[in-house]
Amino acid sequence: MSESTKVLFVVTSNDKLGGTGKPTGFHFEELSTPYYLLQDAGYQVEIASIQAGKAPIDPGSQKERGQNAASVERFLDDQEAMKKIDDTKAIGSVKAYDYAAIYLPGGHGTMWDLPDNKTLGHLLAEGFEQGRVIASICHGAAGLLAARLSDGAALVKGREVNCFTDSEERAVELDEVVPFLLESRLREQGANFRGADDFKPIVVKDGNLLTGQNPPSAEPLGRQLVDMLNAARNQAAE
């Protein structure tokens, strides 16, 4: 584990919900809640995206001011944080070694530009094999599909993982819109999928891999991520 206090978030650059003509992007609360849990615990969060530049916020995850989750409201008022969204780093410009963890927030946008991105896959696999924490939530786990370890095996093969479930995708009536069902694809790569009932929070930890199911899982995932990083820092200091 690196002694770095930096954590990298990687978000989607895709703002189109397939062929529907509807907008999408990253899920705001899945980004903002872990962001402040980490920042308030003394970690510095940097944000990268597939194409760099301004990252799209899924409009379905942002309400009128005063009606959002507290972390979203705080983020909207935080000029420094908003600047990170308006000017994200290119994933090709970052190195896993510089971060204690890499986290993939969800949002349906991820389903189109994360799963086959070789640069992201290499970054995640490298970080995982270096002992960094690799974390995702909801559709962010689409990025895990791109990761192949140095022996050629899928990163998720034989590991307990979680994501937005096939049942939840059907419940929101987007199972015919997304290019594939994420839970099914993770299972196809050999993952041991462990989910909860629709829209109930659950966080699954397997070594240095941490995954959450849905927006209600954002806070428990963020807290567990902080705990894992704190434990690693304490161990390194001994």
Tens digit of pLDDT at every position of the chain (238 positions): 446 899 999 999 999 999 999 999 999 999 999 999 999 999 999 999 999 999 999 999 999 999 999 999 999 999 999 999 999 999 999 999 999 999 999 999 999 999 999 999 999 999 999 999 999 999 999 999 999 999 999 999 999 999 999 999 999 999 999 999 999 999 999 999 999 999 999 999 999 999 999 999 999 999 999 999 999 988 887 7
66 within domain boundaries: yes
Q: What is the pLDDT of residue 20?
A: 95
225 within domain boundaries: yes
1 within domain boundaries: no
User: pTM of the entire structure?
Assistant: 0.97
Parent domain of 73 = 6-237
CATH of the domain at 117: 3.40.50.880
pLDDT tens sequence across 165-216 = 999 999 999 999 999 999 999 999 999 999 999 999 999 999 999 999 999 9
Q: State how far the Cα of 182 lies from the Cα of 212, in Å rounded to an integer.
A: 13
Q: What is the pLDDT of residue 237?
A: 79
19 within domain boundaries: yes
21 within domain boundaries: yes
Closest CA to 212 of 192, 228, 196, 226: 196
Total count of domains within the chain = 1
Cβ–Cβ < 8 Å for 132, 101: yes
